[in-house]
Chains A and B, each alone.
Chain A
Amino acid sequence: MKGFWSVYRKELYSLFASPIFYVVAFIFLVISGYFFYSIVAYYNVLSYQASQNPMMARQFNILEMIFRPFFLDLSVVLLLIAPLLTMRLFAEERKAGTLELLFTYPISDWAMVLAKFKAVMSAFGIILLGTLPGVLFVSVLGSPSWKPVACAYLGVFLLGGSFISLGVFTSSLTQNQIIAAVLSFGGLLLLWVIGWLKNVVESPIGEVADYLSFAKHFDSFAKGVLDSRDLLFYILFTVFFLFLTLRQMGSYRWRG
């Protein structure tokens, strides 16, 4: 991993020096805050009704009624912002020609790809921390079990990892940041909705489409269920696209 930390620090600096990060973080937190507020407010209304209806009160569950919808909403917002965090990674360096510096410094290609990935993951982690106050607020008042909540956070983080790995890859394809963002957004959206095919198309295509769907794998995390198949899916997805990025770097070198 030669040169990993130097590139990682540089990428973090570039991320925090550019306004993109702050705008993206702001929008993400405003929208997720709005979702959180509306979900809690709805829960509030329901709990008022439940106080007059013991049958309904028995089915009440904070995890199911607040956290699950909240994390599902969060994942959709993430779909919108992930391409914005990753679009500049390689595209900007190609456009400015600085890739030539990185390619001629003693930095291995793997270290370069991983450092860039990790830098965006760190930034994403920081943004995600911004959602904690609301979650803590509900946890203190409602005292749900912390394990399912932690599981849901792990799910969001892994989902973010796959989104970002796809973004890293599309950014390596072009020197235009907009094209990189559009490609990764399109790819993510397609993989989000591809599971719908299951209801329309006969297996095995429907089965495959269902397996590839981000939404399907995320739902169990949002419910607080840690399933190794879903864990494996996100990890494999991330590794696959980072590997494709590495191949793309090699191909870029050969073409010159």
Chain B
Amino acid sequence: MIEAEGLTKFYGSLPAIRDVSFQVEKGEVVGFLGPNGAGKSTTIRILTCYMPPTTGAARVNGLDCFEKSLEVRRVVGYLPESVPLYGEMTVTRFLRFAAAAKKVEARAIKKEIDRVVDVCALGKVSNRIIGHLSKGYRQRVGLAQALLNNPPVLVLDEPTIGLDPGQIIEIRKLIQELGGEHTILLSSHILPEVAQICQRVMIINKGQIIATDSPSNLTSRLQKTARLVIEVNGPAEPLIQALGQLKGVQKVTPGQENGGRMSIETDPGADLRAEIARLVIGKGLDLLELRAVDLSLEDIFVQLVTEEPSQEEPRS
């Protein structure tokens, strides 16, 4: 449904993205992760025909984004990152303009607007001036205009940024519901959100895609260590030394308070829980807690983007 092939974009002499390639299948919900300035918005803007790539090609629905720009724009609903809206218009008037611009038939416009207003829960503010709305409502108006004309592809740049927790949950639910019939590409900073909504995650850093997989695969594939947390009652010092000598343990980090809490990093795949429990009891200490901790997507993300790039010139 969405294909990117060797996309490269230079701003002047500064490369924003380099050789970005990926595919999104029909009906998939794919998350685009990356730190600020990684090239997420640049990639998204190329896919939505806002700007052409320097080299490479992007296709949506089999249509080239540059050659068949107008056709592509008809099948893509786009929510830009900054949610630009016409502040002087009322919500209904703005949606009427957007619907007309998106070639919704004149007779169907009212019904279509009612539909998206309903989906995005904008009924209460539909006659208010957009400039006076709160950030949360503006975000929903942005989403509503993207949904007009029911496009098969939705591209959402940071759809939940600036919303309160309740609204975030609503929007996430909405995106999940849309996922069945729409192909969705969304970018986000919030990693648990991506893990929750998306079937596949692409991590982009410094203009290049560094990992693509499902959130769970990504976690297990990139997990270089497994982590355990234990809490004991009694002097922890000798225990830390003993744990460090245990086979398979890479590192032991005592907790911040001087209590008996510590986290242990072990080789992946090695289940040391039983041995550690025996060791603790053997030292004459009480074992209060022992559990394995999954490396969160957040940890993986940090690991990936902080890794030294192998052959790259430094960029600002």
Q: Measuring CB to CB, which residues of chain A are less than 8 angstroms from any residue of chain B?
A: 2-3, 5-7, 9-10, 13-14, 17-18, 96-108, 253-256
The 8 Å CB contact of B70, one of A14, A101, A108, is: A108
The 5 closest A-B pairs by CB, nearest first: A97-B84, A6-B100, A6-B101, A105-B101, A106-B73
A101 touches B103 (CB 8 A): no
B48 on interface, CB distance cutoff 8 Å: yes
Chain A residue nearest to B99 in the complex (CB)? A6
B159 on interface, CB distance cutoff 8 Å: no
A96 touches B73 (CB 8 A): no
B118 on interface, CB distance cutoff 8 Å: no
Task: Classify the interface of chain A: helix, strand, loop or mixed.
Answer: helix
Closest-CB distance, B14 to chain A (whole angstroms): 11
Closest-CB distance, A50 to chain B (whole angstroms): 54
Contacts of B74 in A (CB 8 A): 106
User: With A17-B88, A253-B51, A256-B9 as given contacts, are A100 and B73 in contact (CB-CB < 8 Å)?
Assistant: no
Contacts of A254 in B (CB 8 A): 51-52
Chain B residue nearest to A100 in the complex (CB)? B80
The 8 Å CB contact of A104, one of B78, B82, B88, is: B78
A101 touches B80 (CB 8 A): yes
Contacts of B86 in A (CB 8 A): 10, 14, 96, 98
Contacts of A97 in B (CB 8 A): 80, 82, 84
Q: Measuring CB to CB, which residues of chain B are less than 8 angstroms from any residue of chain A?
A: 9, 11, 16, 42, 45, 48-52, 70-71, 73-74, 76, 78, 80, 82, 84-89, 93, 97-98, 100-103, 145
A14 touches B88 (CB 8 A): yes
Tell me, in angstroms, the Cα distance from A96 to B89 when the chains sit together. Answer: 13
B101 touches A3 (CB 8 A): yes
Among A96, A103, A255, max chain B CB count under 10 A is at A103
Closest-CB distance, A256 to chain B (whole angstroms): 5
Contacts of B76 in A (CB 8 A): 104
B100 touches A9 (CB 8 A): yes
Known: A96-B87, A101-B85, A102-B101. 12 other contacts (CB 8 A): A7-B101, A9-B97, A13-B97, A96-B84, A97-B80, A99-B84, A101-B84, A104-B78, A104-B80, A105-B101, A106-B101, A256-B50
Closest-CB distance, A99 to chain B (whole angstroms): 8
A2 touches B85 (CB 8 A): no
A104 touches B49 (CB 8 A): yes
The 8 Å CB contact of A256, one of B45, B48, B82, B100, is: B45
Chain A residue nearest to B76 in the complex (CB)? A104
Chain A residue nearest to B103 in the complex (CB)? A106
Contacts of A9 in B (CB 8 A): 97, 100
Closest-CB distance, A250 to chain B (whole angstroms): 9
Tell me, in angstroms, the Cα distance from A11 to B87 when the chains sit together. Answer: 13
Chain A residue nearest to B129 in the complex (CB)? A17
A256 touches B51 (CB 8 A): yes
Among B11, B16, B48, B73, max chain A CB count under 10 A is at B73
Chain B residue nearest to A5 in the complex (CB)? B100
Closest-CB distance, B293 to chain A (whole angstroms): 42
The 8 Å CB contact of A2, one of B48, B50, B70, is: B70
A103 touches B101 (CB 8 A): no
User: With A97-B84, A106-B74 as given contacts, are A10 and B97 in contact (CB-CB < 8 Å)?
Assistant: yes
Tell me, in angstroms, the Cα distance from A254 to B12 when the chains sit together. Answer: 10
Closest-CB distance, A57 to chain B (whole angstroms): 56
Closest-CB distance, B255 to chain A (whole angstroms): 46
User: With A100-B80, A100-B84, A106-B70 as given contacts, are A13 and B101 in contact (CB-CB < 8 Å)?
Assistant: no
Contacts of B42 in A (CB 8 A): 256
Tell me, in angstroms, the Cα distance from A6 to B89 when the chains sit together. Answer: 14
Tell me, in angstroms, the Cα distance from A103 to B78 when the chains sit together. Answer: 11
User: With A5-B100, A256-B42, A256-B51 as given contacts, are A101 and B145 in contact (CB-CB < 8 Å)?
Assistant: yes
A98 touches B51 (CB 8 A): no
Among B74, B100, B145, max chain A CB count under 10 A is at B100
Chain B residue nearest to A95 in the complex (CB)? B84
User: With A97-B82, A97-B84 as given contacts, are A103 and B52 in contact (CB-CB < 8 Å)?
Assistant: no
The 8 Å CB contact of B50, one of A5, A7, A103, is: A103
Chain A residue nearest to B16 in the complex (CB)? A256
Chain B residue nearest to A97 in the complex (CB)? B84
